[in-house]
Amino acid sequence: MAGDASLLRRVNTQVTLNALRREGVATLTRLGRITGLSRQTVETVLDELAERGWVREIPPDEGVMGRPARRFGFRADAGYVLGVDIGANKILAALADLNGEVVSWHRVPVSDGAPAPERLEAARQAALACVDVAGVARTRVWAVCAGTSGVVDRSGRVSLSTVLPGWTGVDLAGLAGGWFGCKGLAANDANLAALTEHWRGSAQHAADVVYVLVGHRVGAGMLIGGRLHGGRTGAAGEIGALRQVGWEDAAAELDTHGEAAAVFKAAGDGDPAAARAVERFAEKLAIGAAALVLAVDPDLLVVGGGYSRAGDVLLTPFRRHLTDLCLGVPEVVTSTFGDESVALGGVRLALDHVEREILGL
């Protein structure tokens, strides 16, 4: 609780490292100015960090006035994190360095009805391949985070899945960690997508975000205070379970009109039957979204998932119904990421873990 002098050093190390991560490469003097520390302090801190492998000294810049300054760079390649989206039809893995820059993608198809062991094996293969083709040693993966549809509890177990066969009860976090002998995490896909939008997408400046994942299945995730909010059992956002909301059959009903993309297209082209179907879908979507909006009153509502590509054809009626149902409607935007958002969210969550647990704080 209390601190002695070493606390000061820990704090300043953290501050310096963060500054360097933002800068990429920086001289001692510059880091001193940024952090408010003296050059000497920054120097000893960086020498320590270099010894521990977090930071690397880089040859001085040439052709500038004055004595060449010692330069340091954050070793983003000291470790890696992996995000894996385990979906109904595909598995997508993303390997990123400690700056969160993705260095390798790997996608494999998987069948809708694949039993859990087959899906898990495919995920494992994809994860390993993603790392191997990047030429990264498997031991340098420090954390893995899997994302999937369904309810994922705090420990990373799938406690309920209605779409993937045999998926309920799978200990995703444990298994994913086992692939690389590192920390394993798991979370709901909509939650991870929300995290991605907050990290690099359209929700960057919002603290409280509701993300509605609209596709063949409809789900929702949320961020409260900039942090993922899963709730007691990981089921936060599962408003679709409420009969009065009817998310369960909204997509199913739309499907009766044909391929979803085609229905949206037809509606956009003025086909009245398709327009009515989209209208009904938008209304059902809006009821659930309204319940979430009224419950948490977010700064922003992000609509993502495959069907969000329909754009205004879906969004316009959706906004209209939402305005009808809510007191004050937050800004509604579409996701800026496609189907990489879940894997990227996994990268972000794994990175959060690494920053907290390994970089210390």
Partner DNA sequence: CCACTTATGTGACTCCGTTTCATAACTGTG
Partner DNA sequence: CACAGTTATGAAACGGAGTCACATAAGTGG
* Residues of this chain that bind its own copies (CB under 8 A): 1-5, 7-8, 11-12, 15-16, 35-37, 151, 160, 208, 222, 224-225, 227, 229-239, 241-245, 287, 290-292, 294-299, 325-328, 330
Residue 30 as a binder of DNA (CB under 7 A): the answer is yes
Binding residues for DNA, total number by CB under 7 A: 31
Q: What do you get for the CA distance between the two ends of the chain, in Å?
A: 13
Q: Is 58 in the site for DNA (CB under 7 A)?
A: no
Greatest CA span in the chain, whole angstroms? 74
- C-alpha distances out from residue 67 to 26, 27, 60, 64, 285, Å: 15, 12, 10, 8, 63
Q: Pick between residue 8 and residue 25 the one whose CB is nearest to DNA.
A: 8
**Nearer to its own copies (CB atom), residue 116 or residue 325:** 325
Among 1, 51, 59, 62, binds DNA (CB under 7 A): 62
For residue 90, state whether it binds DNA (rule: CB under 7 A): no
Q: Residue 50, interface with DNA (CB under 7 A)?
A: no
Least gap, CB of 66 to DNA (angstroms): 2
Binding residue (CB under 7 A) for DNA from 14, 44, 159, 336: 44
Which C-beta is closer to its own copies: that of 324 or that of 357? 324
Are the CB atoms for 111 and 173 separated by under 8 Å?
Answer: no
- Among its own copies, DNA, none, residue 30 binds (CB under 5-8 Å by kind): DNA
39 contact, one of DNA, its own copies, none, CB 5-8 Å limit per kind: DNA
Q: What is the DSSP letter of 70?
A: P
Closest CA to 151 of 243, 252, 286, 241: 241
Which residue, 11 or 273, is less far from DNA as judged by CB?
11
Strands (E), 155-251: 158-160, 183-188, 209-214, 218-224, 227-228
Rule CB under 7 A: choose which of 1, 51, 59, 64 binds DNA. 64
CB of 282 to DNA, least distance (A): 56
DSSP one-letter string for 266-330 = HHHTT-HHHHHHHHHHHHHHHHHHHHHHHHH--SEEEEESGGGGGTHHHHHHHHHHHHHH-SSPP
- Residues with Cβ within 8 Å of 360's Cβ and at least 6 positions away in sequence, in order, are 10, 14
> Is residue 69 a contact residue for DNA (CB under 7 A)?
yes
Q: Is 269 exposed, middle or buried (0-12, 13-18, 19+ CB in 10 A)?
A: exposed
**Residue 133's binding partner out of its own copies, DNA, none, with CB under 5 to 8 Å set by partner kind:** none
Select from its own copies, DNA, none the partner in contact with residue 29, using the beta carbon and a kind-dependent cut-off of 5 to 8 Å: DNA
Phi-psi label, residue 231: left if phi above 0, alpha if psi -120 to 50, beta otherwise = left
Strands (E), the chain: 25-27, 55-58, 71-74, 80-86, 90-97, 102-109, 141-148, 151-152, 158-160, 183-188, 209-214, 218-224, 227-228, 300-304, 331-334
Nearer to its own copies, 64 or 327 (CB): 327
User: Considering CB distances under 5 to 8 angstroms, the limit depending on partner class, which of its own copies, DNA, none binds residue 62?
Assistant: DNA
Q: Which of 6, 225, 270, 272 binds DNA (CB under 7 A)?
A: 6
- 20 or 193, CB closer to DNA? 20
Residues that bind DNA (CB under 7 A): 2-6, 8-9, 11-12, 27-30, 36-41, 43-45, 62-70
